[in-house]
């Protein structure tokens, strides 16, 4: 559910680009529907708190429930660097958590560890910009608030802040992924592929079979069978031994 993480994985060759629009479309649609659900569930509470007016700024502003906005103590470019930095940390840690060669999280605990990671990022540095760290989390709800009645100020507020939670996480996730691959991933010993074994390569659908003749043929001793005269005609004679041994030349 993070377009920045999806972009970084595609840019670094871990996910095919053909899947990018499908993933992002699903992420945006899910986020938009989530914003609509929150609005419908808390519609009365929102209007009562704001006095019947849907405000973007001020003491009774409610647009911040759905998207991030630049606070007074931050400038536009400091906010940009903050979002890029946080998303870079997120992507770097995601690669570390899921790297099977780098002591990853225990199977079945990845979601819990990632959730704790997001909470730590928000608690430590989320006050500056609201830590969007995800275009899918910010832009679709912002579009919803524009449609629902907050107006075009949802895009113009904070020196046109709306584009920063879209662009900065993309750049930050890409740089964070590169930092992990260059400074951490490249130092981890990787297991070489053993082409002599029968290995199925799922990415290409190719199966590498063992080389023929690499093992000595196994010859089983013949077991004598007692045949009575009554059923001797129904038993087919065994082929000569030299004919069966010729099979190993095929």
Digit-coded pLDDT (tens) for 128-169: 999 999 999 999 999 999 999 999 999 999 999 999 999 999
What single-letter DSSP state applies at residue 208?
Answer: E
Q: What is the CATH number of the domain that holds 42?
A: 1.20.1080.10
Kindly state the tokens that stand for 240: 């000569």
Establish if 238 belongs to a structural domain: no
pLDDT over threshold 80, residue 238: no
Residue pair 27/3 in contact by the 8 Å Cβ criterion:
yes
For residue range 52-108, list pLDDT tens digits in order.
999 999 999 999 999 999 999 999 999 999 999 999 999 999 999 998 888 878 888
Establish if 231 belongs to a structural domain: no
pLDDT over threshold 50, residue 237: yes
**pLDDT > 90 fraction of the chain, expressed in percent and rounded:** 69
The mean-pLDDT minimum among 26-30, 62-66, 188-192 falls in 188-192
pLDDT over threshold 70, residue 11: yes
Looking at residue 106, what is its pLDDT?
87
Establish if 126 belongs to a structural domain: yes
- Give the angle subtended at the CA of 15 by the CAs of 105 and 180, to the nearest 5°: 50
pLDDT over threshold 50, residue 174: yes
Torsion angle in degrees (nearest 10) through CA of 45, 50, 54, 58: -140
Establish if 218 belongs to a structural domain: no
Residue 200 forms beta bridges with which residues?
A: 207
Task: Please tell me the total count of domains within the chain.
Answer: 1
Q: What pTM did the predictor assign?
A: 0.74
The pair phi, psi for residue 7, each rounded to 5°, is -60, -45
Kindly state the tokens that stand for 181: 């691959």
Domain coverage including residue 69? 3-187
């Amino acid at each position: 559910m993070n377009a920045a993480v999806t972009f970084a994985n595609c840019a670094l060759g871990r996910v095919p680009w053909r899947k990018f629009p499908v993933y992002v479309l699903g992420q945006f649609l899910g986020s938009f529907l989530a914003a609509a659900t929150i609005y419908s569930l808390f519609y009365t509470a929102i209007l009562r708190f704001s006095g019947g007016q849907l405000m973007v700024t001020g003491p009774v502003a409610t647009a911040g429930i759905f998207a991030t906005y630049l606070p007074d103590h931050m400038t536009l470019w400091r906010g940009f660097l903050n979002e890029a930095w946080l998303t870079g940390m997120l992507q770097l840690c995601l690669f570390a958590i899921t790297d099977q060669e780098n002591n990853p999280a225990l199977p079945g605990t990845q979601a819990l560890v990632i959730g704790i990671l997001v909470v730590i990022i928000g608690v430590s540095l989320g006050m500056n910009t609201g830590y969007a760290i995800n275009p899918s989390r910010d832009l679709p709800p912002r579009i919803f608030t524009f449609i629902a009645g907050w107006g075009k100020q949802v895009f113009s507020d904070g020196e046109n802040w709306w584009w920063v939670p879209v662009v900065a996480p993309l750049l930050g996730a890409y740089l964070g992924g590169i930092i992990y691959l260059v400074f951490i991933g490249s130092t981890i010993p990787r297991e070489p592929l053993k082409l002599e074994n029968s290995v199925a390569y799922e990415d290409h659908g190719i199966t590498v079979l063992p080389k023929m003749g690499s093992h000595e043929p196994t010859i089983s001793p013949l077991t004598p069978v007692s045949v009575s005269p009554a059923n001797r005609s129904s038993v087919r004679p065994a082929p000569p031994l030299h004919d069966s041994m010729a099979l190993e030349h095929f």
